[in-house]
Every structure is written in C-alpha cells, then in structure tokens.
Amino acid sequence: MSSKYLKWALPVMAKVQGKKKASFRLLPGLMALSLVLLLACLSCEQSTDPAVFESEDAITVSTYAELQRALGFFFDGTDAETNIIQGNAADGSTIKLTADLEAASSFGGLTTDVVTGATVVVRNNVIIDGNGHTIDGKGYPVFDIDNTIATIKNITVKNGGYTAKLGGVVFVEGASTLYLENVTFDGNKAKSNAESANGGGAIYLNPHGSPATPPTLIASNSTFINNEATDGNAGGAIYGVNADIQVTNSTFTGNKAGHGAAISAVGTSKLNITNSTFNTNAASKTAGAILVNHGNALTRGRNGASSVVTKVPAYLNGNTFSGNTATAGLGNDVVLGRFYNAAGGGTSFPEYTDNDKTDVLITGNTAFADLTFAQIERNALAP
C-alpha cells in the first residue's frame, strides 16, 4: 500500500469516524473513494519505476569448464561430428563471464580440435559477453566459430596460440558471421613453423568446407595489440581466405607477420576498413599494415605467376597509418595486388594487366608513407 496515500487517508478516516454525528451511511462511499484513490496512487508510482527483467536465456560462467559446457567442445582431439559435445546454450542465449578465465585450468587438461586447435566450439547463435573480463589462452586457441552467427563483446583475449595448423586464437569457418564489439586481442600467436599454415595470430577465417559462402568478420571498437604470425606467415592479427572482413573504429598496434603485419586478405576476400588506426606494425617481408592479395597463392618472387584473378573490392576509408614497417621495403603500410614485385614505401599497387580488374577505393586516409599518383593510378580516389 502506498505510504503517501496512507499518510493522507488514515487521518481523514479517523477524523470522520470520531465524530459522533457522522452518519455511518457515509462510510461505504468514503471507503470506496479511498480505494479508487489508492489504486490511482499505486498506478502513478509504478509508471515512474520501469520494470527490469532478467533474461531467462542468460547463462553466467565463472570457470573455463563452465564456458565449454555452455558453448560446446571437442572431447577426444578430433574434429569428427560424433566427438563434439554440444553446449547447453540455446540459440539466442547470452553467456556472461563473471570472472577472468584461464584455458589451461579446464577439465584438468584441455582437449582440442585436431584441425583448429580450438578448446571451445560455438555452433549456436549466441552472445558471449565478457563483462570486462579476460580469457587467458595460456598458449591454446580458444574459439572455433563453426557455421553460425555469434557475437563476442566486452572482453580481452590474450596469450592464445596454435602450433599445428590454422590461425591463433579464433577460427571462423564455413558460413559463419562473427561480430566483435569492444574486444581486445593481446599477444596471441599463430605459431606453426610451416608457411603453408598461413597465419592470423588473433583471427583466422576460411570457408573450410563451405566454399560457396564466405565467413564474415564484422569488428567494431576493438583493439589488436602485439599479435603475431610467426615464421614468415601472413596476417599478424587477422588472416582471411576467401572471406569478408569489415573493421570499423578499431586499432592495430605492434602486430607482426611476414606479410600484412596487421591484416592479410587473400583469394577472393573482400576488405572494408573504416576509421581505424594502424601504428607501429611490422612485416619482415611485405605490407607493414595491410596486405590484399587476390591471387590463389602468395607470390614472393619478383616475377612470380598467379592464377586468374576475380574482381574483388577493397575499401579503405578514413584510416590513419603511422610507423608501420616492411623490412623488404615493399609497402610500409598497404600492398594491394597479385604480386609483391613493385618496390617502394607507403601504398604499393604492383603490376596489373587489363585482365586483373580490382575495385579499390582509398579515401580520406592519412599518413601514408611515400604515396605517389603513379602508385594509385589504377584505383578510384574520392575527390
């Protein structure tokens, strides 16, 4: 009952009842009026305090084992369908971390996928909300995003890595779409000693069985720091094969690779980078920040051949490049093209023929090193 109403109504009723000449016939009407006023007051109070509902689909986790049980995991080190334990998080669920997690503390010893190395497999449409917490990979990969739509937000993923095959800490495969919102990847490594294993210290994207539908990464307000693709591999932070990569309002600092120290997009990949910063990334060979290579193979010789190239767009808009380096001198910031055989700093657009049609739009970027008109004559520049 409303305290405001009681303070007003009770004294009035007592006063009326205390009068000797008051008719008892007035009391029913007065009580009815009091009830109406009470309901009105309660309605007013409720309207000023909106109800807060806790989602029935929210799952909280405080250990890495709980994260695996919520999302799913491989239990015997193979990628066979029968060896995947499906998580208990249904489509539309939100998994919320309530503590920092360490991969090595799971189940007394991790069981990983033989292909991706992942310790957690995501196959449902879920949101993983770190609530500002950290997952320490302890040298292991973490997520396999497998033919689904998933969102990872408000989290730091650090010290993850893979020594066998593909990528570092997150593998996005098939027709998956991964959204990143306010995520930091720090110190993750793709550590395979074979260049054929590619790279992607933080994120590796590959259709892997679903070539008709590319995997998609949509990252916003995220940070990639000190990630690395070792042994001359490409994409210190992100490596995409026939993928769609979209990055907005994000920062790449101190990432390392052989080619494309921050981002490498190859094959029929599409790349759209907007309002992002690339600072002090370092390639031991080419493309200190971004490599877009549209051939089916990475050609490292000065006159290497490549197969026919399809028309693939690359858009760089409103970005800032500073302090990026390529030891071989080929593209301190960006290399776009099939070959690596055009020397020079800054943005390098190697040899094209009339059959090599590529949509490249560069507009509003700042601090390219040694950019000349001759290097951008085959690209559309906004006025």
* pLDDT (0 to 100) of residue 196: 52
- Residue 137's contacts (CB-CB under 8 Å, 6 or more residues apart) are 103, 157, 158, 159, 160, 161, 169, 188
Spatial separation of the C-alpha atoms in residues 233 and 310, rounded to whole Å: 23
CATH 2.160.20 applies to domain 59-344+354-378 = yes
* Residue 72, CA atoms < 13 Å, CB-side half-sphere: 23
pLDDT confidence of residue 337 = 52
pLDDT at 330: 61
pLDDT reported for residue 314: 75
For 177, the 3-state DSSP assignment is strand
Q: Are 206 and 173 in contact (CB under 8 A)?
A: yes
DSSP 99-116: S-EEGGGGGGS----TTT
Quick one: pLDDT at residue 331? 62
| Predicted TM-score (pTM) of this structure | 0.73
> CB within 8 A of 285, min separation 6: which ones?
232, 258, 259, 300, 326, 327, 328, 330, 340
Taking the C-alpha atoms of residue 97 and residue 130, their distance in angstroms, rounded to an integer, is 5
Which pLDDT value is given to residue 124?
Answer: 93
Place of tokens 């007013």: 44
pLDDT attached to residue 63: 92
Question: Could you tell me where the DSSP H helices lie in 137-276?
Answer: none
Q: Mean pLDDT over all residues of the chain?
A: 71
Mark the ranges of the chain whose per-residue pLDDT is less than 50. Answer: 1-24, 26, 36, 40-56, 77, 79, 82, 105, 107-110, 112, 114, 295-311, 338-359, 367, 369-383
Return the pLDDT at 329: 57
d(CA 261, CA 101): 28
Domain spans of the chain? 59-344+354-378
| Chain segment 54-100, per-residue pLDDT in tens | 344 689 999 998 999 999 887 654 545 546 788 899 999 999 999 99
Instruction: Summarize pLDDT for 281-323 with one digit per residue, the tens.
Output: 999 888 888 888 754 333 222 222 222 234 456 788 888 888 8
Return the H-helix or E-strand segment holding 59.
Answer: strand 58-61
Which tokens hold the place of 208? 């892997």
